[in-house]
Amino acid sequence: MNNTKELLARVNLKYTKQREIILDALRDLKVPVTVEKLDDYCRQHQHPINLSTIYRTIDSLSQVNLIHKTYNSITQTTMIELVAPTHKHYLVCVECHKMIPIKMCPMHSILDSIESDYDFVVASHQLEISGLCSACAKKKSLVTEK
């Protein structure tokens, strides 16, 4: 879905330039970001929006489920992301806090057996995989070698 006006109309939200800018930014950024990062991104792309408007826009877009707020327990910040048609999981680097999306959901086969073993219908799941990205792992190994 690329037409932001159509997307907003579908959820009965009035089109505003700010809403379009935020949705476009999240679409470009592809990974969950902090509000600060979103603010930086808008400035860098010549679309500065004041912070209180960003917060208000995030609230209205998340109320209609176009964007999603998640809490990152490693960085202890709220992360904003576009609601993707298919869900995503991320590898989170504990050093630089980079988030790397993984291509598949490793939970699906596990959830299938949970549903049959426990007679339970799974509605949603979260998965957090933390560790070191290749750049940080390299840096660490250089430090320990000395």
Interface residues with Zn ion (CB under 5 A)?
Answer: 93, 95-96, 98, 105, 107, 133, 136
- CA 16 – CA 79 distance, rounded (Å): 22
As a 3-state breakdown, the chain gives helix, strand, coil percent values, each rounded to 5, of 45, 20, 35
Least CB distance to Zn ion at residue 37 (A): 16
The Cα angle at residue 48 between residues 73 and 2, in degrees rounded to 5: 75
Of 72, 112, 71, 107, nearest to 86 by C-alpha is 107
Least CB distance to Zn ion at residue 111 (A): 8
DSSP-assigned states of every residue in 35-62: HHHHHHHHHHTT----HHHHHHHHHHHH
Least CB distance to Zn ion at residue 132 (A): 6
Residue (36 or 95) nearer to Zn ion, CB: 95
Residue (14 or 121) nearer to Zn ion, CB: 121
Q: Mapping DSSP to helix (H, G, I), strand (E, B) and coil, where does residue 80 land?
A: strand
Residue (10 or 140) nearer to Zn ion, CB: 140
Residue (64 or 100) nearer to Zn ion, CB: 100
Least CB distance to Zn ion at residue 124 (A): 9
